[in-house]
Amino acid sequence: MRPVFTGSVDSGSLLFECGSEVLRGLQTTLANEPISLMITDSDGLVLSRLCHDTDINRSLDRVHLAPGFYFAERNAGTNGLGLALADRAPSLVRAQEHFCTGLRGYTCAAAPVLDPVTGGLAGSVNLTTWSDSSSELLLALAQAAAGNTAALMLARSAGHTARPAPRGEVFRVYADRFDDDAARRLSPGWTAAVSEAIDALGQGRVVAVVGEPGAGKTALASLARRELRARQRVLSARCPAAEDVEAWLELWTPELGKDSTCVIVSGVGGLPAWAAGELARVFTSVRRGPGEGLQPFVLTAQSYDALPEALSPLVDTVVEVPPLRARPDDILPLAEWFARADRRRPVTFTPAAVRALRAYDWPENVKQLRRVVHEAATRAEVIDVHHLPAEVFTDARRPLNRLQALERDEIVRCLTEPGTTVAKAAAQLGMGRATVYRKLAQYGITLPGRG
């Protein structure tokens, strides 16, 4: 296992409050049973653990299944709560089914808790007992506790009502704000695109921001709007699946009539033709004339050619966001910003880690960088190569199945350990050195200093 301790948990969240109340009631019912009841967040961070049995508490402490520790699959291999979060489905993992031998003394049942308002993954409820105890009712209890937690969250969610959320979520967007020093370190490619968007928006032009997925199109549009009108409300409406378009349009189009609101419609290239036509009709009715101020909407797409035929005539200016691989000078400032946001304090990167981050192609762009940095920042405040996930050292064009990904990750983990050599890694992996080199070529693995 790779225990990761965050040092604190969010005990003020609605999930923590409602989950703790539900589990305390369940604990009373199971007072004489050696069962530990836990709540985790959506990343597998253990928020709370309730158990009266001293022996099982001590045992769980030894394997780090305790508040403040992450227990997702990447930290502890196959386990009940990790599977429940990954698959968004109830999971039961018995003794020998655990990936790590240290967990084979337990049976774990877990069920995901879904946010009753948004439908998103809020966390999980996990019940753990000894592996030789009866587990027939364990999964049913976990499912009931997860359902009761979601129901209690709904009752206390400040008057919101549960409704099926369209897959294209509509939500408040806050542009990431860098301090002055960080802003000066951003590349000319990004700052030029922001300036171009500010100029076009300021002239009352309809702007389409284009670029690869994850490059930061919505963030750039939001930042540009806020530079022009800092107090304006900015909504991001991401295009949904075809069957959800009608409900999606009904949800946010009334906001277009409000002078205090701008809507960024993301990924319009994925809209059906009829929906693009309806959207064009709505946009035409609210479009401002020359000298009437800022337009109430911005579009984003992968390219100008991807804009639907009904919408492209509305666009006055196209602003292209360069992909992250074309902005290598942005990688470190962005990584430091994301890490500081996760840890609530500065995080540093070793020169080797910086070289690894800058050498990677980032096919998913800034979205992928943020995910990679989040994973590394949960493990250390000084991030070195062995804290980075294996994907950073792998040819991104090679799709892997789950078993191949596990093997690749283990090879990278061994080879990035401080002071390691190929011979030492081969011995740890139980492979010959020739096999290790063959696997490096097979998975397209390139490590710092190894060519």
In this structure, the number of other CB atoms found within 10 A of the CB of residue 359 comes to 13
How far apart CA 269 and CA 55 sit, in angstroms, is: 58
Global pTM value: 0.56
Nearest to 78 by CA among 58, 95, 56: 95
Q: Write out pLDDT tens, residues 373-409.
A: 988 887 788 898 888 888 888 765 666 676 777 777 7
CATH of 326-443, one of 1.10.10.10, 3.40.50.10490, 1.10.8.60, 3.60.15.10: 1.10.8.60
**Which residues make Cβ contacts (< 8 Å) with residue 437, sequence separation at least 6?**
422
Greater confidence, 131 or 149?
A: 149
Q: Write out pLDDT tens, residues 260-276.
A: 788 899 888 888 889 89
Q: 163 pLDDT exceeds 60?
A: no
How far apart CA 428 and CA 424 sit, in angstroms, is: 6
3-state secondary structure of 108: strand
3-state secondary structure of 214: coil
How far apart CA 277 and CA 272 sit, in angstroms, is: 9
pLDDT attached to residue 158: 52
Report percent pLDDT > 70 for the chain: 86
pLDDT attached to residue 201: 94
Q: Write out pLDDT tens, residues 178-206.
A: 444 455 568 888 999 999 999 999 999 99
Which whole number is the average pLDDT over 117-141? 79
Domain ranges of the chain: 4-155, 170-322, 326-443
Helix (H), strand (E) at residue 285: helix 273-286
How far apart CA 170 and CA 286 sit, in angstroms, is: 19
How far apart CA 198 and CA 178 sit, in angstroms, is: 17
Q: Write out pLDDT tens, residues 230-264.
A: 777 788 888 877 777 887 888 788 878 777 788 89
Report phi then psi at 421, rounded to 5.
-130, 165
Q: 167 pLDDT exceeds 50?
A: no
3-state secondary structure of 151: helix
Q: 346 pLDDT exceeds 90?
A: no
In this structure, the number of other CB atoms found within 10 A of the CB of residue 77 comes to 18
Instruction: Check if the beta carbon of residue 330 is closer than 8 Å to that of residue 194.
Output: no
Token pair in block for residue 416: 């990035």
Which whole number is the average pLDDT over 5-17? 78
As a whole number of Å, the CA-based R_g of the chain is 25
Helices and strands of the chain, counted as H and E runs: 16, 15
Q: Which CATH class is domain 4-155?
A: alpha beta
CATH of 170-322, one of 3.40.50.300, 3.30.930.10, 2.40.10.10, 3.90.1530.10: 3.40.50.300
Q: Which of the four pLDDT bands, split at 50, 70 and 90, describes residue 161? A: very low
Label residues 378-389 b or e (16+ Cβ within 10 Å = b).
Answer: bbbeebbbbbbb
Tokens 């294996």 -> residue: 390
